[in-house]
Amino acid sequence: MSLSPEILHKLTAIVGETHIFTDEATRRHYGHDETEDYVFPPQVVVKPANTQEVADILKVANDYKVPTTPIGARTGLSGGALSIYEGIGLSMERFNKIIEIDELNLQVTVEPAVITQILREAVAEKGLFYPVDPSSMGSCWIGGNIAENAGGARALKYGVTKDYVLNLEVVLPNGDIIWTGANTLKNSTGYNLTQLMVGSEGTLGVITKAVLKLLPQNSHNVLLLVPFYKAHEACEAVSAIFRAGIVPSALEFMERDAIDWTLRLVEGISVPVKPEHQAHLLIEVDGNYPEVLMQEAEKIVGVVEQFEIDEVLFADSDEQKNALWKMRRSVAEAVKSNSVYKEEDTVVPRYMLPELLSGIKRIGAQYGFQSVCYGHAGDGNLHVNIIKGDMSDDYWKTQVPLGIREIFELTVSLKGTLSGEHGIGYVQKNFMDIAFTRTHLELMESIKRVFDPNNVLNPGKIFPDEL
């Protein structure tokens, strides 16, 4: 079914002829993100220039009940930006300005299509720090980070996106425009619609501006790579480090396969990896006082030495640090270049990590799938990449999801949940019954209806197909 000429005419009148596209190549381009191999092209792609144009588009969408999917950098891993019911693909790419870096108040006002790394670099030039650093920060956008409540490697010390969002300009599905809060560090004034919007995956409104909190920039850090002979001991070491009174700025876990595949893909990284290492922890501490950081690093070494480890690598140059981080950030890409895979974004209280990891391997063995596990162990967030390899399409589609269901059941039984930072989107929605009661899901659906009674904004996401 194609959109009526009347609708297309109205959309053209809003964005102008040069910012509306119905050709197949463009629709297809905007029809995929980084989620497996899914492609769901919208019927039309529009690229509004400003908040009012977004409002006008949503009014048309509401009048004609056209499904409308906000589209960001398309780096998402849960399919939140896929136009699964076709309709309008609302690309936010023209919202790409850093509006103001407020050095006096340590805040930045930014449009949603600013690349996270560009924002980080722009504020760093002023001596300020935006800590949230998803692995995709070189290409993902702030708007998508807010929509999915993105995390990253520094979340264990600095928190996730939600901890930096002070205020949002949002276009509601009916075209009304609000600011959700105030530009203040604390706020007890009415319901927290700012935090309701963060992580709502573009289903409650379209973010058109964001005011984010900044910190003073730290000047120093120390980075360690610790090879473990036993993967579960690497997991155990994670909570032991915190219990020793240390809050690292990063604490990343990588299974052996994750490193091997990455080193094959990414050139020029030299890491002393031996066949007998089962897993590595990449550990960073940061601050302004190098002698303190060395003390903390030594305390960390004292903790990890209680486990069976090989020699600890102290990265002592920026070059070496960058290489280690490049390795860590390239894992997803490396896995993807190897095989189609499903990525689960499990998260548990951090002491439960060893139990989660061994359970995942047990379930994988039972269902006959290989998984590559890595992630932000410091906050209990383990990415589980399930490899398709030469598995039949039928088994992949019918049997593997049963194994994933078991993984999520285990996760929830450990007081964890389905997604730590990727969101539910399209691919995890039919697992939501594991984490939430029917009452709870109905409550969320009722909130969705308050914002979007006609269900035009990003329909088919978050909520299970059958409630």
Site for a copy of itself in 371-430 (CB under 8 A): 376, 379-381, 412, 415-424
What residues between 180 and 199 interact with a copy of itself by CB under 8 A?
181-193, 195-196, 198-199
Q: Is 451 in the site for a copy of itself (CB under 8 A)?
A: yes
Q: Is 76 in the site for a copy of itself (CB under 8 A)?
A: no
Segment contacting a copy of itself (CB under 8 A): 64-72, 324-332, 398-406, 444-452?
A: 444-452
Nearer to a copy of itself, 103 or 308 (CB): 103
Q: Is 419 helix (H, G, I), strand (E, B) or coil?
A: strand
CA angle 440, 441, 445 (to 5 degrees): 120
Segment contacting a copy of itself (CB under 8 A): 49-57, 268-276, 330-338, 443-451?
A: 443-451
Q: Is 306 in the site for a copy of itself (CB under 8 A)?
A: no
Burial of 216 from C-beta contacts in 10 A (0-12 / 13-18 / 19+): exposed
What residues between 242 and 271 interact with a copy of itself by CB under 8 A?
242-243, 245-247
Tokens linked to 399 = 């049997």
Q: Is 455 in the site for a copy of itself (CB under 8 A)?
A: no
Q: Is 333 in the site for a copy of itself (CB under 8 A)?
A: no
Rounded least distance, CB 355 to a copy of itself, Å: 12
Own/partner long-range contacts of 123-129 (Cβ < 8 Å, ≥24 apart)? 123/214, 124/217, 126/101, 127/216, 127/217, 128/101, 128/103, 128/214, 128/215, 128/216, 128/217, 129/214, 129/215, 129/216, 129/217, 129/218
Which residue, 346, 342, 348, 359, is CA-closest to 399?
342
Return the H-helix or E-strand segment holding 71: strand 68-71
Q: Is 345 in the site for a copy of itself (CB under 8 A)?
A: yes
- Rule CB under 8 A: choose which of 38, 159, 273, 313 binds a copy of itself: 159
Rounded least distance, CB 253 to a copy of itself, Å: 15
Rounded least distance, CB 135 to a copy of itself, Å: 14
Nearer to a copy of itself, 266 or 447 (CB): 447
Q: Is 133 in the site for a copy of itself (CB under 8 A)?
A: no
Binding marks (x or -) toward a copy of itself, 273..292, rule CB under 8 A? ---------------xx--x
Segment contacting a copy of itself (CB under 8 A): 47-55, 92-100, 149-157, 222-230?
A: 149-157
Rounded least distance, CB 380 to a copy of itself, Å: 6
Rounded least distance, CB 395 to a copy of itself, Å: 27
Which residue, 239, 230, 435, 244, is CA-closest to 349?
239
Find the DSSP H helices in 125-212: 142-148, 155-158, 193-197
Angle of the 331-338 helix axis to the 256-265 helix axis, nearest 10 = 80
Pair 131, 162: CB distance under 8 Å: no
Rounded least distance, CB 270 to a copy of itself, Å: 32
Please enumerate in sequence order all residues whose Cβ is within 8 A of that of 465, keeping only pairs 6 or more positions apart, or say none: 429, 430
Q: Specify the DSSP class assigned to residue 312.
A: P
Q: Please state, in angstroms and rounded to a whole number, the distance separating the CA atoms of residues 394 and 161.
A: 37
What residues between 96 and 125 interact with a copy of itself by CB under 8 A?
102-107
Rounded least distance, CB 160 to a copy of itself, Å: 5
Please state, as a whole number, how many other Cβ atoms lie within 10 Å of the Cβ of residue 309: 20
Tokens linked to 4 = 């009526």
Nearer to a copy of itself, 12 or 195 (CB): 195
Using CB under 8 A, count the residues that bind a copy of itself: 89
Rounded least distance, CB 465 to a copy of itself, Å: 15
Q: Is 32 helix (H, G, I), strand (E, B) or coil?
A: coil
